[in-house]
Structure 1
Amino acid sequence: MRYKIILLVILFTSLTSCKNTEGPEVLYLGHTLPQTHPVHKGMLEFQKALEKKSKGTLKVKIFPDGQLGSERELLELLQIGSVAATKVSAAPLSNFIPEYNVMGIPYLFRNKEHQFSVLEGPIGKSILEKGSKFWLRGLCYYDAGSRSFYTSKKAIRTPEDLNGLKIRVQNNQMAINMVNTMGGDATPLAYGELYTAIQQGVVDGAENNPPSFVSSNHYEISKYYTLDEHSSVPDVLLIGTKYWDKLSEEQKIWVQEAADESAQAQKRFWKESVEESMKVAKEAGVEIIIPEKSLFAEKSKSVVEKFVKEYPEMESLVNQIKNN
């Protein structure tokens, strides 16, 4: 089935890459999120803005829900030119562009305002452009919130409360180091297996943002949510350079402006989604805990030190962000 989809996309691309003076150019955008997600809503704004700016000569066709494959498969499709654009978390992009690793450092960003002043300023734009040598040009960042701990049987009020708890994390060394340093037992596990794992006590909890906490139904079996907000890894809207390079200079301006406008709208959608998710969690009886974040930040300092030691070329970038 997957090969059929890929062949279909290649057919679409070959058709739309031909010069067509009678119809619009179509940009195919695939992603893995549901249509109710605030990031998908941001992409709809991108679709609307691009069509308006180009007076209908450039259109966006969106394939949500993983119709065209996983994040990894979509990245590969961008690189070979079979799909024009996609959205992925900044975390997997670090496999191509080391600078994206920095965004997973715990408590790197002081607050939301600081985060987006960095991402939407010279530092963030420079990182977006670094993917071009891997055929993956970044257009803009989408808000993916902040990750916090949630547990099933015991509330986490201080880092010491993590002692001995198995906490599911993404298969990412930064996340593993952070939880282990705080005293927990970091347990990489597939996201699709997490609900059952918490329910059966295989793990004691996990960490994620409020919309994911609720949309996954993890709030049904995890009655403690500690808003320590230890990391804020954004999503990235990408365009394949094989598609980008075919655009005229005017078309490139339209695409970039549409992406930038969609990013501002998406931040509003994300804020609304967080508020609604927190309301759902509270009504379901989840205890929302507001801890002293400085305790968690202090405990995780060695994670930053270890990262800079392993990647000395990143120290300058980390300092630039901190001083921004």
Structure 2
Amino acid sequence: MRLIRNFSATLVLMLLMGCSMENSTKTLRLGHGLDVSHSVHKAMVKMGEDLLQRSGGKLKLEIYPSQQLGTERECLELLQIGSLDMTKVSVGVLENFAHKMTVLGLPFLFRDRQHSFDVLDGPIGQELLDDGKKYWLKGLGYYDAGSRSFYTMHKPIHTPDDLKGQKIRVMESATAVRMVQELGGSPTPISWGELYTSLQQGVVDGAENNPPSFYLSRHYEVCKYYSLDEHTVLPDVLLMGTYVWDKLSEQEQKWLNEAVTESVKYQRVLWAEAEAEALREVEKAGVEIIRPDKTLFADKVADILEDYKNDSEIYPLIKQIQETK
């Protein structure tokens, strides 16, 4: 009996460590907070299929969606200590762990979507991914998360003045908190998984996010106003803990990087389709889509960028991004 118990304990330990007993397959566990219908999750599924094929079955991806393994912050912490292999988080949460990433959360930094792609796919984007290494986080790539805008329950947002007195859910991001404050709202950090209930119970009056997230979360059932001010273009970042990355061989790292690259390309196509569908569907469900004058919002938060003049890491990045053609 003792022998059986010892064997069972060893088997459980091996499963928790992401090991497989079949054909020396390495299993990488990826946890994230999105629904399985989200374009990022679908891209991850493709990445897993691609990785298995490229590696000849030597590398396998196991995906745990919908916060099964914890919130974005909790998953990052698990990565840092080697208890989880991979995760996807919003840049807004990542800035609490890797300071340079703060720049991507600044409001009205990018001219348009293509400008953001040019930055993320170039040397600036790679520099930001590499910066996470000193925090035990290996950046692998960026998924498109579109532009974030405000949605509210009781009062439409046409100008920044309409945010006054409204409690707006934000991520655990100092930049997001500051932005909502500058616009006149009352920022309230709440976990994404708790937001629907918080809206129903009146803990907050609204939130801000991209169209697919607004639609797939079903927040449109309680929030009937969506104001497309597009204040931030905040990508999702795919990460691996350096503890796990450093244990992969060069060939395994190559397989993984190639699978990630194809996954990112695939997700951008899915995202464009999902964004258009989301706006159509929420409008059908009775949501009023508002297209306000964005300059009113940009002018209100312009000081945020200037406040980084004394930050030797962030301000040079702001200038480089602004100068990227």
Q: TM-score, normalised by structure 1?
A: 0.89
**Residue 199 of structure 2 contacts residue 206 of structure 2 at CA under 8 Å; is this kept in 1?**
yes
Residue-pair matches, total: 315
CA distance 1:314–1:264, change in 2 (3 Å) = same
Q: Give 1:101 shift.
A: 0.8
**Are 1:319 and 2:322 counterparts?**
no
Q: Which residue of 2 aligns with 1:41?
A: 42
- Partner Cα distance (1:100, 1:290) in 2: 28
- Per mean C-alpha deviation after superposition, the further-off stretch among 63-72 and 295-304 is 63-72
Change (3 A) 1:66 1:109: same
2:11 matches 1:12 = no
Aligned to 1:261: 262
Q: Quote the residue 2:114 is aligned against.
A: 113
3-state secondary structure, aligned to 2:19 = helix
Matches of 1:112 and 1:171, distance apart in 2: 24
Conservation of the 8 A alpha-carbon contact between 2:27 and 2:62: yes
2-structure distance, mates of 1:70, 1:231: 22
Determine if the alignment matches structure 1 residue 24 to structure 2 residue 25. Answer: yes
Bigger shift: residues 291-300 or 153-162: 153-162
Q: Kindly indicate whether the alpha-carbon contact (under 8 Å) linking 2:86 and 2:238 is maintained by their aligned counterparts in 1.
A: yes
**Deviating more after overlay: 222-231 vs 309-318:** 309-318
- How big is each residue's C-alpha offset from its partner over 1:243-277, in whole Å with a ceiling of 9 and x where there is no partner? 22222222211111110110111112222222221
- Residues 210-289 of structure 1: pairs in structure 2 closer than 5 A: 210-289=211-290
Instruction: Specify the code of the residue in structure 2 equivalent to 1:64.
Output: P
- In the TM superposition, what are the counterparts of 1:187-206 in structure 2 within 5 Å? 187-206=188-207
Is the contact made by 2:144 and 2:267 (CA closer than 8 Å) also made in structure 1? Answer: yes
Alignment root-mean-square deviation, CA = 2.3
- Secondary structure at the counterpart of residue 213 of structure 1: helix
Contact 1:167/1:187, CA 8 A, preserved across alignment: yes
SS at match of 2:41: helix
Q: Percent identity?
A: 51
Q: Secondary structure at the match of 1:304?
A: helix
In the alignment, the residues of structure 2 paired with residue 87 and residue 196 of structure 1 have an alpha-carbon distance, to the nearest angstrom, of 23
Aligned to 1:147: 148
- Are 2:228 and 1:208 equivalent residues in the alignment? no
* Cα distance between partner residues in 2 of 1:171 and 1:80: 21
Cα deviation for residue 202 of structure 1 reads 4.4
Distance 2:249 2:195 in 1: 46
Deviation, 1:200, is: 5.0
CA contact (8 A) 2:35 2:216 kept: no
Taking structure 2 as the reference length, the TM-score comes to 0.88
Shift of 1:317: 0.8
Deviation for aligned residue 1:212 = 1.9
Partner of 1:117: helix, strand, or coil? helix
Verify the 8 A CA contact 1:10 1:82 in the aligned structure 2.
Answer: no
Q: Deviations over 1:80-139 (max 9, x none)?
A: 323321111222222221011111100111111111111111111111112122221011
Residues 9 and 83 in structure 1, CA contact (< 8 A), matched pair in contact too: no
Give, in angstroms, the shift of residue 201 of structure 1: 4.5
Q: Is the 8 A contact 2:31 2:65 kept in 1?
A: yes
2:158 paired with 1:157? yes
Alpha-carbon distance, 1:10 to partner: 4.9
Gaps of 5+ in 1: 1-6
Query: Residue 34 of structure 1 aligns to a residue in which SS?
Result: coil
Give the structure 1 partner of residue 3 of structure 2.
none
Change (3 A) 1:315 1:8: farther
Task: Indicate how the Cα distance of structure 1 residues 47 and 10 shifts in structure 2: closer, same or farther if over 3 A, else same.
Answer: same
Partner of 2:125: 124
Q: 1:35 touches 1:64 (CA, 8 Å); kept in 2?
A: yes
Q: Who is 1:3 aligned against?
A: none
- CA offset at residue 234 of structure 1? 1.2
1:298 positional shift? 1.4
Judge conservation of contact 1:84–1:240 (CA < 8 Å) in 2.
yes
Structure 2 runs not aligned, ≥5 long = 1-9
* Cα pair distance change 1:63/1:120, threshold 3 Å: same
